[in-house]
Structure 1
Amino acid sequence: MTASVFIGTSVDGFIARPDGGLDWLPAGGGEPHGYDDFMASIDALVIGRNTFEIVLAFDPWPYGDKRVVVLSSKALDLSVVKGGNVEQMGGSPEEIVALLTASGAQHLYIDGGITIQRFLRAGLIDRLIVTRVPVLIGEGVPLFGSLAADVRLDHVATRAYPSGLVQSEYRILHDA
């Protein structure tokens, strides 16, 4: 099982405004920067309830028929997603990974601030692809939170795009 993060941040490290707003992101994701190829490589997307509620407002549903697992301990009305393949799970990151592995998933896309932080703390993220958007928003939802120990990274690549997007890819060094 491989778990990856593919996310955009402001240069000051926020993934959303305090209210969850994403209006500072380039329309349509900006120029092509590998997202479509990344999405084609995953078996399932794992998101938290907050992220799910934000993407519900997107028209059309942004994930097509890709399997989406929403993490929440509260019951969710998944019938509001038209044309999506959405299910709800609860439990620790380890339990979620075990359930998804047992169902045949091999590559997970972990998304949403709290969800990324929980999976990172559990040592379950293998790859980080962080695209910095050339904007400072001053406050918001941080990509990273507190950690019990350092997380060592191996730099894979950094790419700059004409629009000013700068994308860095890292491999998590689990044995460090």
Structure 2
Amino acid sequence: MSPRTWTGRVFIATSLDGFIARPDGDISWLTNPPADPVHLPPTLPRTVKVFDQHMARVDCILMGRKTYEKVLSLPQWPYGTKPIFVLSSTSLEEAGEVFERDRIGSVYVDGGEVVQAFLRKSWVDEIILTHAPMLLGQGIPLFGFLEKDIRMSLRAVDVIEDGMVSAEYQVIK
């Protein structure tokens, strides 16, 4: 098998306890966080790779069906005109072949199950993981079973709006 020519990038947020959604798929805790009743001084945001900057670095988006359906329920489509591939449970290998055939350079990988599948295939090259200051206690985890350890190198950490912390990791291959 020839080396992969495209880069897999994950840009995703979780609760502090590692969940991407509540058990029923609800993400309102992330998209509409409650107002801070304590009125602490705001954290000072720094320059980070925000969503628009991340989108400028990718050629297309690949997401699972459940994530796609959740995004369709949002009030506004967040992905602009980027091509989107919706992955079914049977089309993982086909996705990699399409990226090679169409000479796609960089893929935004989204959705818990898709991220997990790409990690198992060693198809993730970097992860930008944002933690929201919220503990859910239960929900849909971002990371699931992996056959082996996946080492990462921390490249940057930034504080962004609403007390969120964003960490950028390079996957060590």
Q: State how many pairs are aligned.
A: 155
Query: Highest relative contact order (Cα 8 Å, sep 6+), 1 or 2?
Result: 2
Deviating above 4 A after TM superposition, structure 1's stretches of 4 or more consecutive aligned residues are: none
Distance 2:94 2:83 in 1: 17
Please, which runs of 5 or more residues in structure 1 have no aligned partner? 74-89
Q: Which residue of 1 aligns with 2:18?
A: 13
Distance in 1, Cα, partners of 2:158 & 2:77: 28
Q: Distance in 2 between matches of 1:97 and 1:27?
A: 34
Could you say what the CA RMSD is over the residues aligned between the two structures, in angstroms? 1.8
TM-score of the pair, normalised by structure 2: 0.84
Cα distance between partner residues in 2 of 1:170 and 1:8: 14
Deviation at 1:160, TM superposition (A): 1.5
Matches within 5 A, 1:87-166: 90-92=90-92, 94-161=93-160, 163-166=162-165
Structure 2, unmatched stretches of 5+, are 1-5, 34-44
Identity level (%): 42
* TM-score normalised over the length of structure 1: 0.82
Cα drift, residue 163 of structure 1 = 2.3
Letter in 2 for 1:132: H
Where in structure 2 are the equivalents of 1:74-89 lying within 5 Å? none
Instruction: Describe the superposition over 1:106-162 as per-residue Cα deviations: whole angstroms up to 9, x where unpaired.
Output: 000000000000000111000010000001111111010011110011111111235
Determine the C-alpha separation between the residues in 2 that align with 1:162 and 1:36. Answer: 15
Work out the CA distance in 2 between the residues paired with 1:68 and 1:27. 25
